[in-house]
Amino acid sequence: MSLDIYLKTKEVNKTKQTSGIFVRKNGKTVEITEDEWYETHPEMDRPVIFQGEETETNIAYSDNITHNLNTMADNAGIYEHLWRPDECIFTSHCDKGTRLYRTWKNLNARCSGKSNRKCYDNIFLFEDWKNYIFFRRWALLNGYKDDLTIDRINTNDGYYPQNCRWANNTIQAINKNKPSTNKSGFKGVSWRKDRNVWVAKLLINGKKKIIGSFKNKIDAAKAYDDFIIKNNLYHSQNFHENDNIIDDKDYKKIIIAADLIEPLRQGLHELKSRPEHFKQFNPDNGWGTYEGLVEFVDNYLNACYEYPEADVEVDR
């Protein structure tokens, strides 16, 4: 029995189903050529070879390793990352001290009421974002830069993927709550007493833009929202953003290759720095070796560097 790992990308590539011969070597299944078969098995009959056809697949990388090496992997600190990545809580010590880590820590503290600064009472925080690795992945895939801050599109709603973005101070200032002097109850809508109408207006680059006058304040608020959407502005809206619904299908807890890079790098360093220590865990039955695990982790790490956004899947 073996552990099979796969890195799957969004792109579908054509690959030829090779016609090689598969054997067990160093605790894993490998493909060898016909010549290699004859060299290692001169007394055996010629193997039957099937000519494969070109197929489509989204598997960018795959490999396997014997279960006999799980104790060695565990001692190197990478058992969970190899065998059970979907259940693994990734450590964040490598990012401590970074601005992104501090952003995550402060956000969690303020939403849980554990901050000395202003706390966000009763503001929803996406459950996955209580785990740094999932917040970090969303941030890096959605435009995070060190000169930006996290911004709620609808300032009256919570912190979750569909309602958050990375914005500069200018956009943050534009996207603020309606002032306490607002009497309409809607952003960008005010009463004009001399004309007896509700006026929809907003500031664009410091200049006032009058959208229109309306007899009904709800119509004015809708016109305000429509103008923002039509012109792709960053201003917070009155109605449309409330349509955001958190759907688990939109944000699954899928481990991607980038999540594995740091733990695999550290594990490989540990394996290579103490070979004699790890060789004591070589299986007694000869199925799997220290050298085989080092090669497996090294190749896997290189694949993660090459396909950082690929989904990780394992078959145990």
Which CATH code is given to the segment(s) 180-235? Answer: 3.30.730.10
Q: Could you give the CA distance from residue 78 to residue 69 in angstroms, rounded to a whole number?
A: 11
For residue 141, which of 179, 177, 100 has the smallest C-alpha distance?
Answer: 100
For residue 58, which of 12, 116, 107, 97 has the smallest C-alpha distance?
Answer: 12
Instruction: Give 73 or 41, the one with higher predicted confidence.
Output: 73
Q: What is the pLDDT of residue 248?
A: 38
Whether the predicted pLDDT of 150 surpasses 60 = yes
Q: Could you give the CA distance from residue 241 to residue 152 in angstroms, rounded to a whole number?
A: 10
Q: What is the pLDDT of residue 251?
A: 40
Show Cβ contacts of residue 68 under 8 Å, excluding neighbours closer than 6 positions: 27, 283, 285, 287, 288
Mean pLDDT rounded to a whole number for the chain: 79
pLDDT, tens digit, 9 for 90 and up, residues 49-94: 555 556 678 889 999 999 999 999 999 999 989 998 877 655 555 5
Pick from 97-111, 181-195, 268-282 the range whose average pLDDT is largest.
268-282
Q: What is the pLDDT of residue 78?
A: 92
pLDDT, tens digit, 9 for 90 and up, residues 113-138: 665 555 565 688 898 888 887 888 88
Q: What is the pLDDT of residue 5?
A: 94
pLDDT, tens digit, 9 for 90 and up, residues 210-255: 999 999 888 888 898 889 888 888 677 776 554 443 343 334 455 7
Q: Could you give the CA distance from residue 288 to residue 68 in angstroms, rounded to a whole number?
A: 6
Structure tokens, 247 = 């759907």
Sign of the Cα torsion 305, 307, 312, 314 reads: negative
Strands 54-66 and 2-16, sheet pairing: antiparallel
Q: What is the pLDDT of residue 18?
A: 58
Query: What is the reported pTM?
Result: 0.50
Tell me the HSE value of 118 on the side-chain side, using a 13 A CA sphere: 2
Q: What is the pLDDT of residue 72?
A: 96
Domain locations in the chain? 2-88+255-315, 180-235
On whether the CB atoms of residues 13 and 60 are closer than 8 A, the answer is: yes
Q: What is the pLDDT of residue 28?
A: 59
On whether the CB atoms of residues 184 and 193 are closer than 8 A, the answer is: no
Q: What percent of the chain has pLDDT over 90?
A: 28
Instruction: Give 20 or 289, the one with higher predicted confidence.
Output: 289
CA dihedral 257, 262, 267, 268 (to 10 degrees): 80
Mean pLDDT over 266-279 rounds to: 95
